Structure 1
Amino acid sequence: MLKFILRRIVIMIPQLFLLSILVFLLAKAMPGDALTGRLANNPKMDAQTLAEMKEKLGLNDPPYVQYVRWIKNLMQGDLGISYIHQQPVTDLLSERIGNTLLLSACILILSYIIAIPLGIVSGRWTNSLADKLIVGYSYLSFATPLFIFALLMLFVFGFILGWFPTGGSVNIQVEKGTVDYYISKINHLILPSLSGALLSTVGTIQYLRNEIIDTKIKDFVKTARAKGVPESRIYSRHILRNSFLPIAAFLGYEITGLIGGSIFLESIFSYPGIGQLFLQSIMQRDYSVITALVMISGLATLLGTLLSDIILSAVDPRIRIE
């Protein structure tokens, strides 16, 4: 297992290098430059001042010189300066990444709490009324766009009923660290978390349902029934244990997918996370923030893939990756 992890980490190095080249080229291919967004916010800036700033920031250097400088800074943990917010990108991300990770964790936990029982019921009692209702819910969730469902949730439970806040991550009037602060934090998380969880359950439900149906007809299950093993024990010890393998295998992919999908939720619910920051940076052409976020997302995807392989080899004793 240790050799496998080390080998995968070594393979990640050239992958990150290729990703950095692609991110840099795409950023250079975008219209304008790193000062375009700042110029749009300050139309009084004259051409001479703009030219001096470009020279000072090294934007007139050849692309390969800019790339080498960017990579050196990146390896030292320096993600650059946000041209819009006028502060280091690391400080800007540190203020928001905690909110995104918290939101993603809540969505993941809620989606499993909803999906696993539904998948077990649907797989165990196939073609029953409950199974048909759960399958219908899965199809409806799969066909519903996230941004439309989130807008509907916000409109109904936020504006009409007024049960939850319609924006932000915490009430600015409460003092940080108090009980009211954490209650407000949870209250702001409920609506976006439910919106994301209710639509992200479809994959888990279908995988679990199909695995249970396939496992029920396996020879070792028939043998257990022939020996008189109670049905409840057959499901808990044999069927469910094997059916959870695909869920564990896709855990890493789901984590990275939630982080990427938070762009829509954070924008709709005005939740201050890196997803909302990424969308704002694209609109304002804040290149240093865009490149940093894309690199972080790429690294998270590679780590999620590694995590999935590790979990799969750990939960299934038949798999030995050396």
Structure 2
Amino acid sequence: MWKFILRRIVVMIPQLFILSVLIFVLAKAMPGDALTGQLENNPKMDMQTLMEIKEKLGLNDPLYVQYTRWINHLLHGDLGLSYIHQQPVIDILAERIGNTVMLAVCILVLTYLIAIPLGVISGRWNHSWADKLIVGYSYTSFATPLFIFAVMMLFLFGFTLGWFPTGGSVDIQLEQGTAAYYINKMHHLILPSLSGALIGTVGLIQYLRSEIIETKMKDFVKTARAKGVPESRIYSRHILRSSFIPIAAFLGYEITGLIGGSIFLESIFSFPGIGQLFLQSIMQRDYSVVTVLVMISGVATLVGTLLSDIILSIVDPRIRIE
């Protein structure tokens, strides 16, 4: 196990290098930059001043020099300066990454709490009326884009019924650290978390249903029934244990997928996280922030893949990755 983890970490090093090169090159290939945007929005800034600022910041250096400087700063914890916010990128991330992590954790917990019972019911009593309802819900969710569903949830439960806040992560008048502050923060999390979870359950429900239906037709299950083993024990000891193994392995991939989904959710619900920051930075051409966020997303993808393999080898003792 430890050899496998160490080997995967070593393999990740060239992957991260290639990823960093691609991110840097694509960022440089995009039209304009934050300084160009300042020139358009600030009539007092002329082209000469703009060129002097670019020269001072090293933006006119060869690409390989800029890349080496960028990587060196990243390795030393310097994520650069946001030209739009006029703040270090690491300070901007520190203000927002906690909200994104909380939102991702809530979505993940709700997704599994909803998907596992529905998947078990649908697989155990397939072709029943309950199974048809669950499959219908899955197909409807699969066909509904996340951003459309989130807008519908916001309109119904936020604006129409007024049950939940329509934006932000907490009411600004509350004092941080108090019980009311954290309760209000959770109140703001419910609607975006539920929106993401109800759409995110589709794959888990269908996969768990298929695994249960396939497993209960296997020979070892038929043998257990022939020996008179109670049906409840057959499901708890054989069918569900075998069917849950791939579901557990999906955990790492689910964590990775939440990063992409948070862009839509945070934008629609005006939730101040790194997903909303990513979209704003693209619109404002603040590429120093964009490159860091894409790099974080790439690292999370690699770590999520590694985590999935580790979980898979832990939950099933028969699987040993050496």
TM-score over 0.5 (shorter chain): yes
Indicate if the aligned counterparts of 1:37 and 1:84 stay in contact, CA closer than 8 A. Answer: no
- How much has 1:77 moved relative to structure 2? 1.1
1:127-154 Cα shifts (integer Å, max 9, x gaps): 0000000000000000001111100111
Give the partner amino acid of 1:84: I
In 1, the alpha carbon distance for the partners of 2:39 and 2:183 equals 41
Runs of 4+ in 1 over 6 A off after TM superposition: none
Q: Which residue of 1 aligns with 2:200?
A: 200
Q: Could you tell me how far apart the structure 2 residues matched to 1:199 and 1:125 are? A: 23
5 Å-filtered alignment, 1:297-312, equals: 297-312=297-312
- Indicate the SS of the match to 1:317: coil
Correspondence 1:260 to 2:287: no
Which TM-score applies when normalising by structure 1? 0.99
The answer to whether structure 1 residue 95 and structure 2 residue 87 are counterparts is: no
Shift of 1:39: 3.0
| Maintained 8 Å contact 1:37/1:286 | no
Contact 2:282 2:290 in 1 (8 A): yes
Q: What SS class does the counterpart of residue 168 from structure 2 fall into?
A: coil
Encode CA deviations 1:274-304: one digit per residue, 9 max, x unaligned. Answer: 0000000000000100000000000000000
Counterpart check, 1:79 vs 2:79? yes
Q: How does 1:94-243 map to 2 (within 5 A)?
A: 94-243=94-243
**Equivalent residues of 2:34, 2:284 under 8 A apart:** no
Question: What is the match of residue 245 of structure 1?
Answer: 245
Q: Distance in 1 between matches of 2:248 and 2:37?
A: 43
Secondary structure of the equivalent of 1:244? helix
Cα contact 1:101–1:259 (8 A) shared by 2: no
- Looking at structure 1, the residues matched to 213 and 40 of structure 2 have their Cα atoms a distance apart, in angstroms, of 58
Indicate how the Cα distance of structure 1 residues 63 and 34 shifts in structure 2: closer, same or farther if over 3 A, else same: farther
Per mean C-alpha deviation after superposition, the further-off stretch among 18-27 and 28-37 is 28-37
Give the Cα–Cα distance (whole angstroms) in 1 for the partners of residues 234 and 133 of structure 2. 25
* Contact 1:38 1:83 (C-alpha < 8 Å) held by counterparts: no
Answer yes or no: is the 8 Å Cα contact 1:253–1:301 preserved in 2: yes
Name the CA distance, whole Å, in 2 between partners of 1:213 and 1:57.
61
Partner secondary structure for residue 127 of structure 1 = coil
Letter in 2 for 1:192: P
Q: 2: CA distance between counterparts of 1:110 and 1:102?
A: 12
Q: Which amino acid aligns with 1:233?
A: R
C-alpha deviation, 1:40, in angstroms: 3.9
Do the aligned residues in 1 keep the contact of 2:119 with 2:205 (CA within 8 Å)?
yes
Residue 277 of structure 1 aligns with an amino acid whose one-letter code is: L
Q: Is the CA contact 2:34–2:84 (under 8 Å) kept in the aligned structure 1?
A: no
Deviation at 1:250, TM superposition (A): 1.2
> Structure 2 regions of 5+ residues with no counterpart?
none
- Comparing 80-89 with 31-40, greater Cα deviation is found at 31-40
User: Conserved in 2, the CA contact under 8 Å of 1:8 and 1:306?
Assistant: yes
Matched residues in 2 for 1:285 and 1:93: separation?
A: 17
Q: CA 1:190–1:214 in 2, change beyond 3 Å: closer, same or farther?
A: same
Counterpart CA distance in 1 for 2:302 and 2:318 is 25
**Could you tell me the TM-score, scaled by structure 2's length?**
0.99
- Aligned twin of 1:42: 42
Is residue 284 of structure 1 aligned with residue 284 of structure 2? yes
Q: Are 2:119 and 2:208, in contact at CA under 8 Å, matched by a contact in 1?
A: yes
Aligned partner of 1:23 in structure 2 is: 23
Offset of residue 4 of structure 1: 0.1
Counterpart for residue 70 of structure 1 = 70
Which one-letter code corresponds to 1:222 in the other structure?
K
Q: 1:212 touches 1:243 (CA, 8 Å); kept in 2?
A: yes
Q: Distance in 2 between matches of 1:99 and 1:80?
A: 22
Alignment match, 2:14: 14
Which residue identity lines up with residue 9 of structure 2 in the other structure? I
Amino acid of the residue matched to residue 169 of structure 1?
Answer: S
Q: List alignment gaps of at least 5 residues for structure 1.
A: none
Note the C-alpha offset of 1:311.
0.3
Amino acid at match of 1:289: V
* 1:12 Cα offset (Å): 0.2
Residue of structure 1 equivalent to 2:58: 58
Relative to 1, partners in 2 of residues 1:12 and 1:193: Cα closer, same or farther, differing over 3 Å? same
Q: Which is further off, 244-253 or 271-280?
A: 244-253
1:275 alignment partner AA: G
Q: Is the contact made by 2:39 and 2:46 (CA closer than 8 Å) also made in structure 1?
A: no
**Aligned equivalents of 1:66, 1:104: Cα separation in 2:** 34
What is the Cα-based RMSD across aligned positions, in Å?
A: 0.8
For residue 34 of structure 1, report the CA deviation from its aligned partner: 4.0
The CA distance in 2 between the partners of 1:213 and 1:219, in whole Å, is 13
Distance 2:39 2:248 in 1: 48
Q: Could you tell me how far 1:41 is from its partner in structure 2?
A: 3.9
Deviation at 1:316, TM superposition (A): 1.1
